[in-house]
Structure 1
């Protein structure tokens, strides 16, 4: 047997943390076991003789593998299995590229006349009918994106959902999601959607003052902050799940403590239906004071957790495969053009196909290019972060050179990433233990 290429031993106070990037498992070990592991990485029989239980744990959790076991191949084979998942279809629909707000960091061009025409709605329905009739998928996850998808709720979203009812909600498991600023949400819309048990992603950009500057409906119009929080709470009270996305910059981050004050009167039941996650606005470049920013972020995440909110850790949301890498994931724009990624402009350069009237998709050469670059260059394949970072998503690979680290990580950056992952795992494990204790006490 041999030690894994993806294991790291790090000091943690008086003890050590042993972590494996491939299996995403960590364990705390004392000085004796840490020294035993370090001194005998090439002579594993000594570990087996001196600490058989420890050796068994290492073997069971991927810290030690068989001599002929190809870890790199196992990682990529796992990705391929995930990407080729034939049971779930992911369909994102952009009813429009227009939006009632103008956030400064938004990368999209807001076409005021961009609205999905009836012919495209019909083609979307034909596409979904074909997928259901084919009997291939057990579930179809439908996401409405944009632009602001609620701008044309009655003209686009509702007609599609009504047709899905006719296709048959008993033949596959349908899930429904909206990425929305929530300002156009009404009680009537929420009540219509409630039987679908939808989920929502809704963004808050800072405290009330900052949010109202970023998300403005226009000159002399009321602020959107209180409205957004009110609509989030309405959804939670109706037991619909909400992911609250905190978009921050180095200048705005610390003011999110004010947001916690405004959310503190959420009931325990309401908090059960929501999670929060911090996302740095992509235009906000790194500064010389990144360590201070990380400390502020750690403080805020801890504060929200202490207040009973489920916080998605910085690395947790990155561990899984990107939706754009999956074979059975498409984005249908309002004009019938088909894409794979929602994090880039919906233009001719990024277009990968076209939805035609009969519900079929004509793919172009860019789609094939994406498929060919999904599984990393040689630099990524030899990196300790391979299983965590994936070498970036296929969009990164399409846009970047074929050699070198696409994420620009130094060796120090890699170790920082691993430290953050260990921290996130510890928090998740602690929450599970606390949840079990509460369940046992009830």
Structure 2
């Protein structure tokens, strides 16, 4: 009887790969002597180019094993999701509660199935064929601790939001320049040569920390963006140095990411980033022509070879970039080759679907159909199955969906996220950066965004039509609110990509099950002959 599971604590499980990083690659300032695990538990999501601060569902608090021994009966949690992930191996999870994923063999599954109706625990201490009573108890305890079983006598509890990542991290998009050396076909910005002045940048940082203090945040995460932020690298360095001083003054943690197209990052720039513990996110949409089709230079020349050079340069300086992939009709066929490229370099990544916008060009080459996307993603998943990484991919595989923890909002818009443009205007989302709600001159710009009832409304998935009873609702959360509004005229309805998500969730879960089978050591209970 065997069970495979993620043995790390809940906070660390979301960052299971972070422990493998060299401490010099940490993106936290060294101004405070904080506990390392606490720091890592705050950096929940991988770096990306979106407002991905999420509100998560509170994890269950389980009684001790000694308390479990006195429970009158147990029953399977509902809904309980079970699917085959290999021969005689079964993936099991409850997507609406803890979302902890386990893999069971046939014998362990047979034991679990005895709890389809409420079952007195003492009645099972021995009858599991060939297993000692203590082994049966240990397996039942593991299933209970993972949220697969619950106390049938207790009334099911609705899991509310907890003040963790959502309440502790304020994430801010700093639009340090509107200039860019590329002309990506799907970009949502009208480019020009405007840069954020130093005075505006410092005033923006002041406003950020005022909001962080007013909102009782414990960490500020800055995303230096544009345009192409690396074009004003000296400004980025100066702003970050100023932010570091304020973080120390306010007693807050500070982390940061440079979002870049990757074509012009010099060795000098990389050294500046590394000295300041600023991570790097690179946009890469394919290998060779598949990237160049939708991310050319201004005059139309190819850009891939320059991005490839930058990635090699970053790796040579022990600053592994995070890869953000925008998937469209144009590059979908090249996704398998791109994943081989990414996996060969052991890079973290996310696969994000193209979103139509007013600034996009050649839309007919970008727009995709549901079945086309599903087939293309399945082809990409086959590559992942052939080259499974040790790290979990639960937050990487399905657009903005995140299977690593239940949550109620797709992003942090209107909650713990704001965008500051090059003039000091404050918007809710970078895709809607032209719609500024306030400015950095107000005392608490984040509070103004939180109270605003115009523009993007990032409602809970429980308020969305078509989502309320869906098994996957706390992983998908109804998709990007801005895209949904653009396509339907409503914020309180399911994503137009809903059918894609539903088709791919089982595929993504299967990959996680295979990963656990490949890299996790099972907890094994050996059948034995019991003495009378």
Please indicate the TM-score interval, normalised by the length of the shorter structure.
0.7 to 0.9
2:325 aligned residue = 246
Shift of 1:10: 2.6
Structure 1 residues 55 and 418: alpha-carbon distance in aligned structure 2, compared to 1, 3 A threshold: farther
CA distance in 2, matches of 1:151, 1:374: 38
1:398, 1:367 → 2: CA distance? 17
Is 1:70 aligned with 2:140? no
Q: Using the alignment, how far apart are the partners of 1:39 and 1:433 within structure 2?
A: 26
1:106 and 2:187 matched: yes
Q: In the alignment, which residue of structure 1 is the partner of 2:207?
A: 127
- Mapping of 1:374-389 within 5 angstroms? 374=460, 376-377=462-463, 379-389=466-476
Alpha-carbon contact 1:7-1:19 (below 8 Å) kept = yes
CA–CA separation in structure 2 for the residues paired with 1:161 and 1:413: 38
Q: Which position in structure 2 is the counterpart of 1:20?
A: 94
Q: Aligned-pair distance for 1:406?
A: 3.9
* TM-score (normalizing by structure 2): 0.66
Within the candidate set 267, 271, 290, 1:187 is matched to 267
Q: Counterpart of 1:277?
A: 350
Contact 1:16 1:29 in 2 (8 A): yes
Q: CA deviation at 1:431?
A: 6.2
What's the secondary structure of 1:189's corresponding residue?
Answer: helix
- Residues 281-360 of structure 1 mapped to structure 2, 5 A cutoff: 281-282=354-355, 283-289=366-372, 292-302=375-385, 305=388, 313-315=396-398, 318-319=402-403, 320=405, 322-325=410-413, 327-342=415-430, 344-348=431-435, 351-356=436-441
Structure 1 residues 290 and 256, CA gap change in structure 2 (3 angstroms): closer
CA distance in 1 between counterparts of 2:472 and 2:354 reads 24
Structure 2 counterpart of 1:81, from 163, 175, 178: 163
| More helix per residue | 1
Q: Equivalent residue of 1:201, what SS?
A: strand
1:177 aligned residue: 257
Report the secondary structure of 2:348's partner residue.
Answer: strand
Q: Which has the higher contact order (CA 8 A, sep 6+)?
A: 2
Q: Is the 8 A contact 2:175 2:421 kept in 1?
A: yes
5+ unaligned residues in a row in structure 2: which ranges? 1-73, 129-135, 356-365, 522-532
SS at match of 2:93: strand
1:124 deviates by: 0.9
Q: Does 1:211 align with 2:211?
A: no
- Please say which of residues 140-149 and 22-31 is displaced more in the overlay: 22-31
Q: What is the rounded CA distance, in whole Å, between the counterparts of 2:213 and 2:89 in structure 1?
A: 57
Distance 1:27 1:168 in 2: 40
Partner of 2:22: none
1:368 deviation in Å?
4.6
**Partner deviation per Cα, 1:269-322 (whole Å, 9 max, x = no partner):** xx4xx323333434532254555423311133245547x998664159613554
State the aligned residue count.
414
One of 119, 130, 142 as aligned partner of 1:57: 142
Matches of 2:339 and 2:478, distance apart in 1: 35
Q: Does 1:232 align with 2:302?
A: no
Of 36, 42, 45 in structure 1, the residue corresponding to residue 120 of structure 2 is 45
Secondary structure of the structure 2 residue equivalent to 1:81? coil
- Provide the residue aligned with 2:526 in structure 1: none
Shift in CA distance, 295/371, structure 1 to aligned 2, threshold 3 Å = closer
Cα distance change of structure 1 residues 172 and 236 upon mapping to structure 2, 3 Å threshold:
farther
> Which range moves more in the overlay, 204-213 or 231-240?
204-213
- The 1:258/1:309 distance shift into structure 2, 3 A limit, reads farther
Contact 1:149 1:180 in 2 (8 A): yes
How far off is 1:116 after superposition?
Answer: 1.9
Deviation, structure 1 residue 23: 2.0
Cα–Cα, structure 1 residues 126 and 226, in superposed 2: closer, same or farther, change >3 Å? same
Relative to structure 1, the CA distance from residue 262 to residue 36 in structure 2 (aligned partners, 3 Å threshold; closer, same or farther) is closer
Instruction: Kindly provide the CA deviation profile for residues 6-29 of structure 1, in whole angstroms up to 9, marking residues without a partner as x.
Output: 212234544543322122233444
Q: Does 1:159 align with 2:214?
A: no
- The match for 2:507 is 420
Report if the CA contact (8 A) 2:419-2:429 is conserved: yes
